[in-house]
Amino acid sequence: MLKNLCQKMFGRSLWVYHANSGGCNGCDIEVLNALTPYYDVERFGIKLVGSPRHADVMLCQGPAMRSTAQALKRAYDAMPAPKLVFAIGSCACGGGLWFDSYSVIGPVEKIIPVSYYIPGCPPRPEAIIYGVAVALGLVDKKTAPVAFKELELPIPQYHPGDLRGEGELVVYEKAEKV
C-alpha cells in the first residue's frame, strides 16, 4: 500500500527536508555529499528544501534527544500529508552508541513514525541514494533477516524406545541406520 502510494504521490520528484535532532554531523556530511554534483541526486528529482512545509520526505539524523524531541515532532507535523520519514544512520535507527544515556530518548521512531531505515555509522552517500531508491521502488532491498537453526540431529540417535524383543533376543529396530 505504501509502495503504491509512493508511486502515485511521488511520481515526479521528492523534496527532502534535512532534520538533525542531535547527531554528531557525520550523517549530515554524508547527506550533503549525496546532494553535491559528485552524486547529483537531482538527476532523480531529489531536491533539498529549507522548510518542512515544502517537503515530502524528512531525512532524520541523530537520536531523539530530550531537548530536540518537541522540535522534531513540530517539524513532522508541519509537513503536508503524504509524507515519508527516513531514519539515516545508526543513531536515528536505534539510538546510537549512547542509546541509554540520560539525555537520549532513543530512536526517532519513538517520536515520529519512520517508514525507511538506512543503517550505517555513517552510511555512505551511495547507501543513502540506495535507500531512497528502495522507497521509490526503483530497486529491491538487499537485506533479509538471517536465522541459523541447528539441523535435526546430523547423526542417527539411539533410542531405547526402538528396542524390540525380550531377554537375549533384543533387537534394535533401526540398527542399519546407526
Partner 1 sequence: MSILSKLGETLVCLKAGRVTLPYPAEAKPLPEKFRGRPIFDATKCIGCAGCANNCPAREILVYDVCQEIRILKYLGRHCAYCGRCADVCPEKAITMSQEFENGTNQIGDIQQRLELFMSTCQRCGRCFKEPSVLEQLKMKGYRFDDLENERWIFRSQATLKGEPAVDDLKIELD
37 touching partner 1, by CB under 8 A: yes
**SS3 of 64, please?**
strand
Q: Does 149 bind partner 1 (CB under 8 A)?
A: yes
Per CB under 8 A, the segment of 13-21, 46-54, 71-79, 91-99 that binds partner 1 is: 91-99
Span 118-147, contacts to partner 1 by CB under 8 A: 118-121, 123-124, 126-135, 138, 141-147
Residues near 97 by beta carbon (within 8 Å), at least 6 away in sequence: 90
Which residues, including other chains, have CB under 8 Å from residue 161's CB and lie 6 or more apart? none
Count, residues in the chain: 178
Total number of residues binding partner 1 (CB under 8 A)? 51
Distance CA 101, CA 12 (A): 41
38 touches partner 1 by CB under 8 A: yes
Q: Which of 28, 69, 95, 105 binds partner 1 (CB under 8 A)?
A: 95
